[in-house]
Structure 1
Amino acid sequence: MVTLTQTAVATLETVLAKSGPMVQGLRIAVTDGGCAGLKYQMGLEAEASETDEVIEFGAVRVFVDPDSAPLLDGVVVDFVEGIEGAGFKFDNPKATSCGCGKSFSVGGSCSPASASSCGTSTH
């Protein structure tokens, strides 16, 4: 199961409160892409689908599709602010990050070619 830190929850509570009544939660997914093969994706959603796992953190509801759930098991999502900006950070103990750190693989290693050609992810 994916976990949100208190900082991530507080940030998302603010975002959801400003988003209006049509937004019911946050979708966190793993999609193909990036130099390592997989990337995280986040987005506001009107509702969960029938097959989603719904995880509640106070007023924050997180929707995870069945394909992403095993890849997000054990992941901790935090919201960090620093000199380079602010954003959500994913800590995945099962992931190997390649090159730019924007994508990852699970159960494998990064090849030199993948480390030098970096994709981007949205989160």
Structure 2
Amino acid sequence: MAASELQHEQALKRFLDERPELRHELDHLNPLLAQAKGETAAQYRDERLHEAFEAEAERQGLFAWELTLQLTAATTQDYEAQRLEVHREVAEMAGMDWLEYCDLYGIEP
């Protein structure tokens, strides 16, 4: 059960709410930069927001979907349960043994 689009949108909102300086920066982007990329100002802003979100996840040593779960889970236990569930799904899709996968990604099974 990977993070849903709704969860991701909620996580982005919370992420931005917790970073007023980032919101200010995103609200004052140069529209010529968007135009140069062939994007609307909104598309360009969204792209910068997603880049900041991914960078924060990386800074914390997380995948972006883990940061999404972290920002939207009701409790720490809820986050850990959802995180393990997704990692199990990824291990299955990769055809990897669960303990091998845990060892590779430093996960406590």
Task: Give the TM-score range, shorter chain.
Answer: 0.3 to 0.5
TM, length-normalised to structure 1:
0.31
TM, length-normalised to structure 2:
0.34
- Structure with the higher fraction of residues in helix conformation: 2
- Structure with the higher fraction of residues in strand conformation: 1
Larger radius of gyration: 2
